Chain A
Amino acid sequence: MNRPRIRWHIVVFLAPAVLVYTAVMIFPLFNTLRLALFTEVDQTRVFVGLQNFKTLFFDPVWSEQFWNALGNNFWFFLIHMLVQNPIGIALAALLSHPRLRFAALYRSAIFIPTILSFVIVGFAWKLILSPIWGIAPSMLDAIGLKSLFAPWLGKEEYALTTLALISVWQFVGIPMMLIYAALLTIPEEILEAGEIDGITGASAFWKIKLPLILPSIGIISILTFVGNFNAFDLIYASQGALAGPDFSTDILGTFMYRTFFGFQLQLGDPHMGSAIAGAMFAIILVGVCIYLFGIQTRMRRYQL
């Protein structure tokens, strides 16, 4: 009889993490998804299957808000991808330049906003951009460009873009740090070998460094995606739960919050709120899967 021994130490060592993670993440996640299948009629909870999702996607009142929030969310994400990540990469490339002075100072200065609270960032930028007390109008005035100033946060057509750029300002340090770390791991020999073949300066970046940091860029993209589709705090802190003006800054997070907890005279509806949370979960899951199976597996990796 040579039964395989149960390796208890594995169970014991895994248990704390598994238990905590199950209690605070997995259980609430599935309970939320379960809650989305119910509704409340006359103080009692009734099972309605996928009715809430049907309402969310096909009832004109709900679907209009949902698609508006989803569209805004994609715009929010797009701005981050087009502005935050390229700037982050460019900053990292500059910082990793061996002859740059005060590199550590710049690095910390650019990274500091990341550790600030959303409430502070939202409030500070609201003050900076305020048409009444803000420094933005007077600074533009000083260089004779006062006519370019608009109350950006109060205009439907600019508010979301402005908030996205504020968020970019806050988080540009993250891609910068990740790319910077990736750039530092590229061995000198490869660059020197390239130099011998006549690849120097900018073309060294495009032809050698960029392909080598592509996996990091992929990771940053997926982090940005998840972060943006879960975003809520900045919009809530600066525009409130109604995500004004006229819902132009409403993203899935604020839409979910308003529905779940209620707002002003609107009573909270945990069941519809959970349905929105479920939809958010599905969107993020699909996005992450596309990345993992569609992109990451095809990405070429180089042995350094």
Chain B
Amino acid sequence: MTYRSLKLALLGTTLIATSALAEDVTLTIESWRNDDLTLWQDQIIPAFEAAHPGIKIQFTPSAPAEYNAVLNSKLDAGSAGDLITCRPFDASLALYEAGHLTDLSGVEAMGNFSDVAKSAWQTDDGAVSFCVPMASVIHGFIYNKDAFNELGIEVPTTEDEFFAALDKIREDGTYVPLAMGTNDQWEAATMGYNNIGPNYWKGEEGRQALISGEQKLTDEVWTAPYATLARWAEYMGDGYEAQTYPDSQNIFTLGRAAIYPAGSWEISGFNAQADFEMGAFKPPVRNAGDTCYISDHTDIGIGMNAATKHPEAAEIFLAWVASPEFAEIFGNALPGFFPLSSTPVELQDPLAKEIVGWREECESTIRSTYQILSRGTPNLENETWGASVAAIKGAKSPEELGAELQEGLSSWYAPHQ
């Protein structure tokens, strides 16, 4: 008798406890952006909680390098948070295919994003979207305005003007014309090849054609950027072969270099380090009057853990992330990480504003190697790092590089066989 009443009492408390939870839901976010912890705690979470009483948010980031491994083991153990920050492309696609991410295609707020913005978190056929796009990074060139004024250089818009400007800087000798090294390899591909390349392969048009197999990496539009990169070497400063990424950043922010091939994520760091005025120009086009293309690379999104206990609350949060309100807070707190929603956001930082303005003038695309094409062995992205470095050093001709990359891609990718 006492046993049964105890059981009832226990059941009663459980019910009370669950109903109490239902009133005040706590959602946990998994993320690798531990740099942004204060931003979330001081700005984003209070803004959301003020508008949505009854839902509490906890932001629990882990170290970037460990994120994928930590997240996978948490998901397998069933202890992962309700909301999951999504890496672009295959890492998140694998999570969706393993049943860890919810299909968000039906969520109304997804309509706020363009197809390019969503492409990083979709199945290959584009039918299912599983993460809300949060931010992208844009490539271009950041320059030292003081140096340009001093030498009387106009901001270049075409390739000829670009190289003429570099020549002028080199002749003067005060500044290293181009602050980039090849030691860490990825800058050559990311800030080199994929920065200037979209103007050659016409952004999305070429990228899609490459994925479908209509174009090959041996085509002129894919090899010509290597020929242009090869011309960079003479402007890159002594011993660029051993110059690392932090070296390049420091040379530029110390005012020793004039032009920095950049990604927009540099903005906040550069603002803090450099004591001269900076400007930015987009990748120069091949001929005056050409349509310009920019790499507006989708970098970070957020999705829902399929095993969450509070799908309704999570959906409310995701809809809010997709709203212009979130975009404005996020975009201004992290200049250089640009919100992806179609409604334009008013940014305060002048450099960030200049860069995001290119979206109005140019066609956006993403890095050519990221979607689908880096799924096999050899990995096209990694191979492109090596190829871009080889192009700059002049170790191989653009045609050789194109042929090598094409051979690697054809070895595993059916549309190219």
- Chain A residues whose C-beta falls within 8 Å of the C-beta of B186 in the assembled complex: 264
- Cβ of B183 < 8 Å from any Cβ of A? yes
Q: When chains A and B are docked, how far (Å) is the Cα of A156 from the Cα of B381?
A: 20
Contact status B183-A244, CB under 8 Å: yes
Contact status A61-B377, CB under 8 Å: yes
- Cβ of B343 < 8 Å from any Cβ of A? no
- Residue of chain A at shortest CB distance from B91: A267
- Chain A residues whose C-beta falls within 8 Å of the C-beta of B251 in the assembled complex: 132
- Cβ of A155 < 8 Å from any Cβ of B? yes
- Residue of chain B at shortest CB distance from A133: B247
Write the nearest CB–CB distance from B192 to chain A, whole angstroms.
15
Contact status A154-B379, CB under 8 Å: no
- Extra pairs beyond A151-B240, A154-B240 (5, CB < 8 Å): A154-B182, A154-B243, A240-B185, A244-B182, A262-B68
- Cβ of B238 < 8 Å from any Cβ of A? yes
Contact status B182-A266, CB under 8 Å: no
Write the nearest CB–CB distance from B359 to chain A, whole angstroms.
25
The interface of chain B, by Cβ under 8 A from chain A, is: 68-69, 89-91, 94, 97-98, 181-186, 237-244, 247, 251, 369-370, 374, 377-379, 381-382, 385-386, 389-390, 393, 395, 408, 411
- Chain B residues whose C-beta falls within 8 Å of the C-beta of A152 in the assembled complex: 242
| Stretch among A18-26, A123-131, A169-177 lining the B interface | A123-131
- Chain A residues whose C-beta falls within 8 Å of the C-beta of B369 in the assembled complex: 265
Docked complex: A175-210 residues within 8 A CB-CB of B: none
- Chain B residues whose C-beta falls within 8 Å of the C-beta of A149 in the assembled complex: 239
Among B239, B240, B381, B395, max chain A CB count under 10 A is at B239
Contact status A266-B91, CB under 8 Å: no
Q: When chains A and B are docked, how far (Å) is the Cα of A237 from the Cα of B248?
A: 18
The interface of chain A, by Cβ under 8 A from chain B, is: 43, 61-62, 126, 129-133, 137, 149-156, 239-240, 242, 244-247, 261-267
Contact of A244 among B89, B185, B379, B381 (CB under 8 A): B185
Closest 6 CB pairs of A and B: A131-B239, A154-B241, A151-B242, A154-B242, A151-B239, A265-B374
- Chain A residues whose C-beta falls within 8 Å of the C-beta of B68 in the assembled complex: 262
Q: When chains A and B are docked, how far (Å) is the Cα of A137 from the Cα of B237?
A: 14
Tell me whether A246 and B395 are in contact in the complex, defined as CB-CB below 8 angstroms, given that A61-B411, A263-B382, A265-B89 are known contacts: yes
Write the nearest CB–CB distance from B239 to chain A, whole angstroms.
2
- Chain A residues whose C-beta falls within 8 Å of the C-beta of B237 in the assembled complex: 132
Q: When chains A and B are docked, how far (Å) is the Cα of A267 from the Cα of B411?
A: 18
- Residue of chain A at shortest CB distance from B396: A246
Q: When chains A and B are docked, how far (Å) is the Cα of A245 from the Cα of B241?
A: 8
Tell me whether A154 and B181 are in contact in the complex, defined as CB-CB below 8 angstroms, given that A131-B238, A264-B382 are known contacts: yes
